[in-house]
Amino acid sequence: MSGGPGGISMDELQLAARNHGMPLEALRYDVTPVGLHYLLIHFDIPAADDDSWRLELDGQVDRPLVLRMDDLRRRPRVTAPVTLECAGNGRARMDPRPVSQPWLEEAVGTAEWTGTPLRPLLEEAGIGEGAVEVLFAGADRGLQAELEHDYERSLPLAEAMRPEVMLAWGINGQPLPPQHGYPLRLVVPGWYGMTSVKWLRRISVLTEPFDGYQQTGTYLLHTSEDDPGTPVTRIQPRSLLLPPGIPVFESRERLCAPGHHLLTGRAWSGLAPVARVEVSVDGGASWQPAQLEPQPSPWAWAGWSLPWDATPGSYELCCRATDAAGNTQPLDPPWNTGGYANNAVQRVKVTVRP
């Protein structure tokens, strides 16, 4: 379903009023403060209580487990910075616009997640013969495409066994707030955010691929409903720049003083380390290489900067990340039915005043 040419519908606005992107000036923070990290709540935030929460681990395992939060917190603890991005980021820039949460380009954030690695837990339960996938079930429930279901997503077994996949109960040194999955969530570095199931209450080892709605009915890249499509998985490379100067309230366009500016931003890719960032001040007609900072981990964004001597005039600032595998950002949005993985370059209109 595509949006009409006249603008965002009230249904889309209801989603945009609940969920939110990261205000772009928050690109100044290595670690995004709670409340500024992007947020996509699929159904409702469920009521949850740390004391009574149980995580079940079942399916094709030798020893099914039921774990309390205290059991989990006694396990080996890891803290890691991870950049998460919504698979629908950029959707509202597509034409025609697929109808769902209407993101522009701010559906991203980097948090310091604290939890316990998943792999040792799966090994303790004992993965049985014929296991192919691991299913993660959240406590949020609703209807989508007229199907009632809990929010559930699976990972291929090899992806679930990656050492950096964790069950997290903390963010930025605090307990998870309700909107980020309190008391427990999955964090899958490198994958779009729909994979990192919040309010996690069950993990099931499967001998057949999961075919629930959130796995096979949506989060697919296809250009028509007849095309079976390919699943949305890893985060495509993207960079964002911190809009310089001051904003115009109505348009969010920018006004700058002439002279020296240090353009800064962040870049990330779930496919490979970030290899380079280029910046354009003329809407992508010409590019200059930015200074790239080291990534704190392969799964967290890198800072970048480029000095800009601004002279009076009108500019369209863009930035473009390329990863070590050669993946880069297109100038125009790559269209698909669901509006996923649009990593087209950001465009920031700036007027430098005399």
Q: Which is nearer to a copy of itself, 142 or 289 (CB)?
A: 142
Calpha distance 341→89 (Å, rounded)? 7
Choices 232-240, 248-256, 259-267, 327-335; region in contact with a copy of itself by CB under 8 A: 248-256
By CB under 8 A, is residue 262 in contact with a copy of itself?
no
By CB under 8 A, is residue 28 in contact with a copy of itself?
yes
Helix, strand or coil, per DSSP, at residue 97: coil
The residue whose two tokens read 């965002």 is 8
Least distance from C-beta 266 to a copy of itself, angstroms? 16
Residues 6+ apart with CB under 8 A from 285: none
By CB under 8 A, is residue 273 in contact with a copy of itself?
no
Calpha distance 322→237 (Å, rounded)? 6
Q: How many CB atoms lie within 10 A of CB 55?
A: 19
Q: Which is nearer to a copy of itself, 179 or 305 (CB)?
A: 179
| String of DSSP letters for 50-84 | TTT-EEEEEESBSS-EEEEHHHHHTS--EEEEEEE
Q: Which is nearer to a copy of itself, 13 or 158 (CB)?
A: 13
Among 224, 250, 285, 354, interactor with a copy of itself by CB under 8 A? 250
**Helix (H) or strand (E) run with residue 166 in it:** strand 166-171
CA distances 193 to 12, 74, 161, 175, 240, Å, are 19, 27, 18, 19, 18
Binders of a copy of itself among residues 137 to 166 (CB under 8 A) are 141-144, 148
By CB under 8 A, is residue 27 in contact with a copy of itself?
no
Q: Which is nearer to a copy of itself, 6 or 76 (CB)?
A: 6
Largest CA distance in the chain: 72
Choices 67-75, 171-179, 190-198, 320-328; region in contact with a copy of itself by CB under 8 A: 171-179
Q: Residue-wise over 149-188: b if at least 16 C-beta within 10 A, else e? A: bbbbbbbebebbbbebbbbbbbbbeeebeebbbbbbbbbb
The count of chain residues that interact with a copy of itself, using the rule CB under 8 A, is 61
Among 55, 57, 61, 92, interactor with a copy of itself by CB under 8 A? 92
Binders of a copy of itself among residues 315 to 344 (CB under 8 A) are none
Residues that bind a copy of itself (CB under 8 A): 3-21, 23, 25-26, 28-29, 33-37, 39, 41-45, 47, 92, 99-100, 102-104, 106, 141-144, 148, 177-180, 243, 246-252, 255
